[in-house]
Amino acid sequence: MFGKQLTFWIFAGLAGLSSIFVVATRNVVHAALGLAAALVAAAGLFILFGAEFVGLAQILIYVGAVVILFLFGIMLTSQAPGRPVIDNQQRGLAAVVALGIFGVLAAGIIAAFGDRKVSFDVAFPVKELGSDLFTRWVLPFEAVSVLLLAALVGAIVLARRD
């Protein structure tokens, strides 16, 4: 139990620190790599919370595909002439808003669930998840498939040179 607690705090701290790094760094490539670290930490949390399949899917899809996509996007748009674009003039205001949202969310979650213990011991087996996905949730599943197809076609149409 204590080991799991420790693992949770390690992953949570890694996720928090790397997301702060993502928004604090001035280099876009560093930000993308920081995003990868945050996503790996989130996948660790998923696996810790018994969601092995979702955790592995997270690593495959996010770290394997989405971050690579980001790096490609940065690479293809990085030769912009003129001054480098980093931040706009709303940094202070944005920090205030972000801290406010953090305070409200933290206070709300602690007030609602602060006294309940997460047990860490319920695992969701892949078999159960799969049969659930293809029986109760088959309609949303198909809708997501069509959405992915449409997004793919749309992205190709948008990014095509004509």
Partner 1 sequence: MFACGVYGVLARRHGVMLLISIELMINAANINLITFSQLLHDPIGNIVVLFVIAVTAAEVGIGLAIVMMLYRNRSTVAVDELNLMKW
Please report, as residue ranges, which positions from 20 to 39 form the binding site for partner 1 (by CB under 8 A): 20, 22-23, 28, 31-32, 35, 38-39
- Smallest distance, partner 1 to C-beta of residue 19, A: 4
Residues 38-57 that bind partner 1 (CB under 8 A): 38-39, 42, 45-46, 49-51, 53-54, 57
Place of tokens 């011991």: 121
Nearest distance, CB of residue 110 and partner 1, angstroms: 13
- Please spell the DSSP secondary structure of 9-72, one letter per residue: HHHHHHHHHHHHHHHH-S-HHHHHHHHHHHHHHHHHHHHHTT-HHHHHHHIIIIIIIIHHHHHH
How long is the chain?
A: 162
Considering only 73, 107, 108, 110, the residue that binds partner 1 (CB under 8 A) is 73
Number of residues located near partner 1, criterion CB under 8 A: 77
